[in-house]
Structure 1
């Protein structure tokens, strides 16, 4: 049921960004994404690729970049041909400099190129900092850049053993303590790579705990029930967090990570059969292009509604999310599915059969 959860998390991020009226939902959803990614990448590194870097990297490229290039291409076209693009998002207000060109071409540098909108410069290096907003064709790719960097760290160390995963959790926790105790910008507990080490490490830890304890695979009905319970717990924690002020560094911020960690251990290998299984995979396939396209297609919704209306509103969210889902279905069918044979061939070349129902 991880596909359904990932779809719902993408939807929560879209609601957070396009309404600008639902506090904390985006940060909590992204961190849940990170925990799930930490688990799934640890799973395939250990059970499909046996830590062989070239097939793993090739498969990650085919999963992430073609869909990105499709959305980024649309964004470039809209930027050139439709008036008002710069009004919709800060990342579209400046012309593209050298950092922006490199980030838009390779995506992973966004984990390090920083501005006031996305403060990922955790070492404070002047060469990585921009005084004006960087031009990101797809604004949400800063998070994908962080994910790509963490994939490398999972391959290099964090996913290789229980002790390595636990060490990553400790390092990620120490970074959070540093941000809180030092009086640093609290956003450094969310945006940069060190902040992502805690949820990614928890995901890797969940994999190794599940492998050691070998929990019984849940039956279809039980898997659905536990998924609903996890969604409910996430919703309750989010709702209570809205009364807490600053979410980053709060008890609700870390409770969210622990809920995702516990939920993955419970439902990680449950395989749904029949129509439920097909729906779960279908929804999971949409999560990534939805996450990429939220602002691009939200802009189209705003133009349809009328630019005399607010840039962020429930109307923009409803129409924008609808357009985003439709566009994501097109990306999944026209781009991702055409690459399935190539990706399966890469998995096989790694010396392992593709995992059944593999969503990564």
Structure 2
């Protein structure tokens, strides 16, 4: 059920952006953290079970997965900014004009998006994918190779997070930097090794309580608990709870819920990345055509949701037709990969 969970996380990011209130902002922060935990586990599984740490195959597949849809959305965004420059500028501060050559290069190169370079961001949340790429490199070089390295990364990442909490560091440093992602990625890697070595997997009861606690923690921030909790201990607590949920889901046997549910879950998993990519652009379209320029709010979110779903389904169809055959060929090429375990982890 990782597919449905990933789509839930993507929708929480969309909600936090399009509703635009101070209270829901941290929903997106916590969702990105959840993505990082899942990615830590899935990429560790992929490196060990599919690619055998063959860097050419791994990085080629990652590029095919991430970049073509991103570049396509960048092109669509450039068209939208060109057609409606004033509406785009009013809708989002990152779209206040067409990018110059340097800003265009920053957007196309992806990795500089994690730094405060340039003021035009064609797909604003793509900074988190730049961070993911940093973490893929860390996993590939060290963390995913054995439990010991994963534990060292876990301790290092947790130490950084605790330092951020105790010293009340700037939120930009706590959230938007590569060191901030080490802890959740290491949690995912450690969960993989714990399951592989038969040492620990969360029970259904523990996962149910953890998921309820994760939701409650998110909802309580800004209501029951103050902002200092949201950006401090609550931020750490959400990672621990989410890790328990991911542990349980990673150990579910294939076809646990039947072929229909499995197909639906797979579809939601495919849509999650595309929904993440297109939601700002879909919001601009809906705000301009249907909502008289209403740039934020619950009405905008509700109106955008079917547009995002339709666009995500279309992207998924194109992805299956043009990109997945290439990715499958890369997975099978350059020698035989290591045998996969009996546990059904959806490899990205």
**Closer, same or farther in 2 for the Cα pair 1:324/1:247, shift >3 Å?**
farther
1:75, distance to aligned residue in structure 2 (A) = 0.9
Greater shift in the superposed pair: 349-358 or 63-72? 349-358
Q: Pick one of 74, 77, 97 that aligns with 1:75.
A: 77
Which runs of 5 or more residues in structure 2 are unaligned?
none
Report the Cα distance in structure 2 between the residues aligned to 1:251 and 1:178, rounded to whole angstroms: 11
Q: Distance in 2 between matches of 1:357 and 1:254?
A: 25
Query: Aligned-pair distance for 1:216?
Result: 7.8
Distance 2:163 2:345 in 1: 40
Which residue is 1:329 aligned to? 313
Could you tell me which residue of structure 2 aligns to residue 275 of structure 1? Answer: 260
Find out whether 1:284 has 2:269 as its counterpart. Answer: yes
Q: 2:151 aligns with which of 156, 166, 174?
A: 166
Query: Which residue of structure 1 lines up, in the alignment, with residue 213 of structure 2?
Result: 233
> Conserved in 2, the CA contact under 8 Å of 1:293 and 1:324?
yes
CA contact (8 A) 2:202 2:245 kept: no
Under a length normalisation based on structure 2, what TM-score does the superposition of the two structures give?
0.89
1:33–1:341 CA distance, 2 compared to 1 (3 A): same
Give the one of 41, 44, 54 matched to 2:43.
41
Aligned mate of 2:94, from 91, 95, 100: 91
Distance 1:229 1:323, change over 3 A: farther
- The one-character-per-residue Cα deviations of 1:186-223 (angstroms, maximum 9, x if unpaired) are 331111100011111111111111111166899xxx6x
Matches within 5 A, 1:5-84: 5-21=5-21, 22-83=24-85, 84=87
Distance 1:29 1:201 in 2: 17
Q: Is 2:106 the counterpart of 1:106?
A: no
Q: Which residue of 2 aligns with 1:127?
A: none
- State the partner residue of 1:358: 346
Instruction: Pick closer, same or farther for the CA change 1:80–1:155 going to 2, 3 Å.
Output: same
167-176 vs 90-99, greater mean Cα deviation: 90-99
Distance in 1, matches of 2:169 and 2:214, equals 28
Mapping for residues 192-211 of structure 1, pairs under 5 Å: 192-211=177-196
SS at match of 1:140: helix
Distance 1:232 1:337 in 2: 38
SS of the residue 2:145 aligns to: coil
Q: Deviation at 1:234?
A: 2.1
Mapped contact 1:180–1:186 kept (Cα < 8 A):
no
**Unaligned ranges ≥5, structure 1:** 115-129
The answer for the alignment partner of 1:185 in structure 2 is 170
SS in structure 1 of the partner of residue 246 of structure 2: helix
1:182–1:229 Cα change, 3 Å: closer
Relative to structure 1, the CA distance from residue 247 to residue 75 in structure 2 (aligned partners, 3 Å threshold; closer, same or farther) is farther
The residue number in structure 1 matching 2:248 is 266
TM-fit CA distance, 1:164: 0.8
Distance 1:226 1:14 in 2: 28
Distance 2:232 2:221 in 1: 8
TM-score by length of 1: 0.86
1:212 corresponds in structure 2 to 197
Cα-Cα RMSD: 2.3
CA shift for structure 1 position 145: 0.8
Q: Distance in 1 between matches of 2:286 and 2:347?
A: 30
SS in 2 for 1:252: helix
In 2: Cα distance, 1:88 partner to 1:322 partner: 20
